[in-house]
Homo-oligomer: A and B are copies of this chain.
Amino acid sequence: MKLLHTADWHIGRRLHGFDLTDEQQNAFDQIEQIAQAEQVDGLIIAGDVYDRRLPSEASVAMVNQMLQQLNLTDQIPLYAISGNHDSATRLATGTPWFKATHLYLHTDLSQAFTPIELTDTQLFLCPYFEPFAAQQYFNDESIQHLDQAFARVVTEMKTHFDPAKKHLLVAHFFVAGSSTTDSETNLTVGGLAAVPTDLLADFDYVALGHLHGKDALHLPNARYSGSPVKFSLSEANQHKGVWIVDTDETPVKVTFKPITPIHDVRQITSSFDDLIASADDDSINHEDYVGITLTDRQPIPNVMARLRAVFPRIVTLGRAAGFESQVRYHGETSQQIQQKSPMALLGDFYEQVAKENLTSQQEKWARAALKQANEGGDQA
């Protein structure tokens, strides 16, 4: 059987204030196209369908449309779980009806132990859960941490193993030793909330959600699909996409299928002048989401607005080597500066920022304002 493995759609997410609806819809369209081109027998969504437990109406409408498109229109079986960003309760809405069209969406730990029986494969859908939920389910207060809980869950699953079939697990956790990015919610507190890799050993494939990079984990039988869209600058160099999992092969064969963004997320380190001059360079995609690091050290008036005229989707702006120290620039000591008159200080400042002297009219306005401020001060 061929299954498509994706996760971490995070519908409703924004990137430094920028709406990602179009990116997420575009990534979804590509996932649908890959599923059709590969003629997959099912599509796995390993949690975090939504970005928030309380999604907006727009996000709800989007997810409803996506699931309907895949399952009812394209008639692709769906195997999904809730992640730590989802509300299990809200996501459970409608699920008792979904099974009829092979949409399995597990949101409660109790659902993890009955596998979906495919021709050659048993598929265990284990939603994200807190150790407390396992404590309650197993009625065992000795279960305190995720590693203990997960060990019990796997032991219980194995009692349902059919030796004639392959065993796939869909789960949404931080697996020990994985590498993270800035866009994931940290689930590990002192290493207690990590799943040890040896607990995954008995599965032919573990389709993971939670971490946003496809290379976060290097195990022969377990993968994070990563998110279909870049959610932070720390993901700038990642390649987004989905895994095609072929259970006909032993070991299970996985192939990566890339997703191309409308607008990429990139880090740029350059001088201000070069960035402005690049406006006419058609080889540069100015519409990308960019984190800009300026190599300049001097102050640049109105820098964000001028850069946004060339790069409309700036998500961060920083300096490679900090600002020049303006005190040292003039070779003055702080004592010398303290002795200067307010008008002299204003003149110095204006010259540094604007690269020109105050005009006589500006000087006149400044003196008048200063006089007024001083008089106001005397009266107080």
Contact = CB atoms under 8 A, between A and B. Distances in A.
Interface of A: 54, 57, 60-61, 64, 68, 72, 87, 89-90, 92-98, 100-101, 103
24 contacts: A54-B54, A57-B87, A57-B89, A57-B90, A60-B89, A60-B90, A61-B89, A61-B92, A64-B92, A64-B94, A68-B96, A72-B96, A72-B97, A93-B93, A93-B94, A94-B94, A94-B95, A94-B97, A94-B98, A97-B97, A97-B98, A97-B100, A97-B103, A100-B100
A61 B101 CA distance: 22
A64 to B, nearest CB: 6
A61 B60 CA distance: 17
Chain A, interface SS category: helix
A90 B59 CA distance: 10
Nearest to A68: B96
A94 to B, nearest CB: 2
A51 to B, nearest CB: 16
Nearest to A98: B97
Contacts of A94: 64, 93-95, 97-98
A28 to B, nearest CB: 17
A101 B100 CA distance: 10
Contacts of A95: 94
A28 B59 CA distance: 31
Contacts of A96: 68, 72
A93 B64 contact: yes
A192 to B, nearest CB: 26
Given A94-B98, A100-B101, 10 more contacts: A57-B89, A60-B90, A61-B89, A64-B92, A64-B94, A68-B96, A93-B94, A97-B97, A97-B101, A100-B100
